[in-house]
Amino acid sequence: MPDSHPSTGSPEQSAADGASPAQEGDGASRNADVDVSPGGASNGASSNGASSKGTSKNGASPNGSPALHERFSAYRAERREEREPRRPEVAVPSFFTLLNLFCGFLALTQVFEGEFTRACWLIVLAGFFDALDGLTARLADAQSPFGVELDSLSDVVSFGVAPAFLVWNYGLDAFGPLGMIVAALPALCGAVRLARYNVGFDGKKSDYFSGLPVPAQAVTMVALILTLESPDWFTLSGEASLPVLIPVVLILAGLMVSNVRFGAFPKPKLSYIRAHPYKVGAYVVGVFLLPFLQELALLLVLAGYILTGVVMSAYRLGKAVMNAPVEREERAADEG
């Protein structure tokens, strides 16, 4: 007869069965602790975020490669080592050089509008800024290859192209192609003169120039035009002044590419003044006369400057010819 009461099993089995729910409960509680506690998965994410932020602050990307700003800083440091050190004192002479170029540009615009007198004075003003450029460069010892090139480029415009365009519109356009060639000579010879100067420049200013300086040529030409246009001195203007203007243009252009020596601008030093008192005195007298005689004083001073250079060069040439040794010629004559 079957047993009507269910079997209860052994005591060990009962204990094991009782322990299983407890173990499962403990595992569930542990899982609950991991899943729902504030320090669970969210804390892990926070720690990962903090790690990422720390990596960003250190300047490296998560995969360990340098960040963009690190690469840019390294590039700037490399460029800084390759670049020549900057010289702030060069800025002042370069500023006057750019003013010189700006005045040359304005002179071109005034020639185009038919304002010849205003264009002439703008070229004179460009010459003033060019003188200040050289003066400040000597005082600050700021001579540099950059300044030499910038000065030459500015001089080509202000003292080459602008005067050429001026004399062309002033009356040489009436001579057709021949007048155009003559008018172009200040620009062409001025460019050759400046290129020759740059090639021979060794970083030191000499006491003389080989060939007429381009600014002196330009200012002499415009001073002549201003004097011819002035009713106080002459009555020639326009085409009536061409018999005087054309030879002057040809002579000045030839002197620019010649080997005639012309004195450099006086240095603002006491030793130089003591060594060249007459030269400095002549410049002082010329500056003193400018407010009174204006364009005529400018023309007289520059004409005296050019004549002095030509006469002194002719004297040196004659002296060199007279003192040249003739021993070889005498021997050749005896042998013959």
Full set of structural domains in the chain with CATH: 88-263 (1.20.120.1760)
Distance CA 282, CA 263 (A): 12
pLDDT at 161 over 90: yes
- Higher pLDDT residue, 166 or 240? 166
Q: Is the Cβ–Cβ distance between 182 and 243 less than 8 Å?
A: no
- Higher pLDDT residue, 55 or 141? 141
Q: How confident is the model at residue 184 (pLDDT cuts 50, 70, 90)?
A: very high
Q: How confident is the model at residue 217 (pLDDT cuts 50, 70, 90)?
A: very high
- Top mean-pLDDT range of 89-93, 155-159, 175-179: 155-159
The DSSP element (H or E) to which 303 belongs, if any, is helix 295-322
- Top mean-pLDDT range of 74-83, 214-223, 316-325: 214-223
Six token digits for residue 78: 């490399």
Question: Measuring CA to CA, which residue among 182, 134, 188 is closest to residue 156?
Answer: 188
Length of the chain: 336
**Model-level pTM?**
0.70
Angle at 155 between CA 152 and CA 156, to 5 degrees: 90
Quote the pLDDT of residue 105: 97
**Model pLDDT for residues 274-333, shown as the tens digit of each residue:** 877 777 787 788 778 777 778 888 888 899 889 999 999 998 888 888 888 876 555 555
Quote the pLDDT of residue 72: 77
Category of 171 on φ-ψ map: left (φ > 0), alpha (ψ -120 to 50) or beta: left
Distance CA 14, CA 79 (A): 84
Mean pLDDT for 137-160 is: 86
Largest interatomic CA distance in the chain: 171
Q: Is the Cβ–Cβ distance between 221 and 186 less than 8 Å?
A: yes
Q: Is the Cβ–Cβ distance between 111 and 166 less than 8 Å?
A: yes
Burial of 336 (0-12, 13-18, 19+ CB in 10 A): exposed
pLDDT at 237 over 80: no
Could you give the percent of the chain with pLDDT greater than 70?
Answer: 69
DSSP annotation string for 181-222: HHHHHHHHHHHHHHHHHHHH--SS--SEEES--HHHHHHHHH
Q: Which stretch of 26-40, 103-117, 123-137 has the lowest confidence by average pLDDT?
A: 26-40
Quote the pLDDT of residue 42: 42
Question: Measuring CA to CA, which residue among 281, 249, 76 is closest to residue 172?
Answer: 249
Mean pLDDT for 166-181 is: 89
pLDDT at 196 over 80: yes
Quote the pLDDT of residue 189: 95
Cα dihedral across residues 305, 310, 315, 321: positive or negative: positive
Cα dihedral across residues 96, 102, 105, 110: positive or negative: negative
Report how far apart, in Å, the C-alpha atoms of 20 and of each of 7, 23, 25, 33, 303 are.
20, 5, 8, 20, 123
In the beta sheet, which residues pair with residue 189?
A: none
- Higher pLDDT residue, 100 or 332? 100
Rounded to a whole number, what is the distance in angstroms from the first to the last CA of the chain? 170
Q: 67: helix, coil or strand?
A: coil
Mean pLDDT for 212-235 is: 85
Q: Which stretch of 31-35, 114-118, 172-176, 251-255 has the lowest confidence by average pLDDT?
A: 31-35
Cβ contacts of residue 236 below 8 Å, gap of 6+? 228, 244
Could you give the percent of the chain with pLDDT greater than 90?
Answer: 31
pLDDT at 12 over 50: no
pLDDT at 3 over 50: no
- Higher pLDDT residue, 5 or 232? 232
pLDDT at 20 over 60: no
Distance CA 305, CA 279 (A): 10
Q: Which stretch of 86-90, 162-166, 183-187 has the lowest confidence by average pLDDT?
A: 86-90
Quote the pLDDT of residue 328: 59
Mean pLDDT for 203-214 is: 81
Q: Is the Cβ–Cβ distance between 166 and 120 less than 8 Å?
A: yes
Six token digits for residue 131: 């003188």
Distance CA 86, CA 245 (A): 46
Distance CA 308, CA 306 (A): 5
- Higher pLDDT residue, 34 or 127? 127
Amino acid at 76: R
Amino acid at 218: A
